[in-house]
Amino acid sequence: TREQCGWGLPRSPLQYLPLCLDDTAGPDPSTWAPWTHKPACVEADETPWCVFTNAAMPRGNGERRGISIVTTPALAADAFDLTRHPLAAAFDAIPPKKRFDALPYEVRDVPGKGKGAVATRRIEKGRVVLIDHVMVLATTEFPADVMHEEVQELLSRGVEQLNESESVYGLAKKGREEQGLTEVEDVLLTNSFEIAIEDQSYMWIFPDLSRLNHACKTTLAMTVWSSRDIEPGEEITITYSDTDQTYAERQKTFAQVWGFDCTCSLCTAPEQQRNASDKRRLRIHMLRERVLKRAKEGDFKRAIKATEELFQVAEEEGLTPHMGDLYEIPARLYYQVGDLERAREYTKRSLYQVEGLGVPGGKDIERVRVLKGVLSRIENEMENTKGPGEGQGEERG
């Protein structure tokens, strides 16, 4: 009916569409919790798709930029339950000595890249550069019976219902209206990170993170921390691509997915240098697979050999910070062959990476707990086996 479905937003760039308000939510705003706006939905075969907004969601530093999520009611109540994943927790998880009181960079024009984040002070390795929270989170895969216009309306409502919709609309755009893209689609496509939730792909908009340009040799998380010292005046960058990708593969991804030509120092390096980098990246890819294969086969000694080469090539390519996930492998392998010293070293590295990137509410808290348990077990064993030649060489089951 018109009462249920006749709502449109006067500020929307589109003509209003008859999105249905979620009739499971009553007229009393207190029944919409944790949402500050009554969910608006489009009907599809299996489930409605709706926009859920909490315009007052605090983010830990006192700001309330809010959050909008375009998803199904089931996922909104479960995977995206704001009461279980408070945005402020990301701030609380970082020890104060790792953060800065004020942002250590400013957003400026950067030649060849639009705007970018440029350091305004020295940022030592291992400091938290920024902690951002997602403001718009929207599925990229709607069922075939949902019309393009309906998708646009869900997305633009999502942005416009936020207190600070300019933080999203003010981000970089490519001006792709002539390609049939609406403003909201252009902004989302230019700035979002694609992350899957329960096998469904989502665009995530982190407005502060969105100002960081791509470079091929740094690291990415919702919490951005410095993987090396950064001097004042240096641009702070993150990687948009898979680090195993070669020059040609990266260019293809950037052109197809993001629509830009990369001008980072590696992509614009002389061909010889680029080829040497490609060779190392292909070797890294091959070695990753070899390590896993050998470990699976129980051939720990050869798995360790491949791991050592992997870390060496990653170091040469400047990709050590990206190897964080992999430190657990040598930790386990060295433990298996009884080299507790090295097992401890790699468990510590792994812990440092996981803690550095920790997003509370996610799996990382669990990984930190497990890794701390593993570390204390290794240290206890080291205590108990003190003495000459202890623990080395004997294999574990």
Residues forming the site for ligand SAM (CB under 6 A): 112-116, 171-172, 190-191, 210-211, 213-214, 258-260, 262-264
Angle between helices 148-160 and 183-191 (to 10 degrees): 70
Which residue has the closest beta carbon to ligand SAM? 114
In angstroms, give the least distance from the CB of 170 to ligand SAM.
9
| Cα 364 to Cα 366: distance, rounded to the nearest angstrom | 5
Tell me the HSE value of 373 on the side-chain side, using a 13 A CA sphere.
6
Q: Tell me how far CA of residue 140 lies from CA of 159, 216, 249, in angstroms.
A: 16, 26, 23
Residue 122's identity, in one-letter code, is: R
In angstroms, give the least distance from the CB of 378 to ligand SAM.
41
Residue 305 phi/psi, 5-degree rounding, is -60, -45
In angstroms, give the least distance from the CB of 193 to ligand SAM.
9
| Cα 234 to Cα 135: distance, rounded to the nearest angstrom | 27
What are residue 42's DSSP bridge partners?
49
CB-CB neighbours of 16 under 10 Å: 13
CB of 71 or CB of 167, closer to ligand SAM:
167
CB of 94 or CB of 264, closer to ligand SAM:
264
CB of 207 or CB of 338, closer to ligand SAM:
207
CB of 51 or CB of 205, closer to ligand SAM:
205
How much helix, strand and coil, in percent to the nearest 5, is found in the chain?
40, 15, 45
CB of 50 or CB of 117, closer to ligand SAM:
117
In angstroms, give the least distance from the CB of 216 to ligand SAM.
8
| Cα 286 to Cα 294: distance, rounded to the nearest angstrom | 12
In angstroms, give the least distance from the CB of 218 to ligand SAM.
11
CB of 213 or CB of 350, closer to ligand SAM:
213
Indicate the Cα dihedral angle 150, 198, 369, 85, nearest 10°: 20
Helix or strand (DSSP H, E) at 97: none
In angstroms, give the least distance from the CB of 186 to ligand SAM.
10
Residue with tokens 């197809």: 256
In angstroms, give the least distance from the CB of 281 to ligand SAM.
17
CB of 66 or CB of 116, closer to ligand SAM:
116
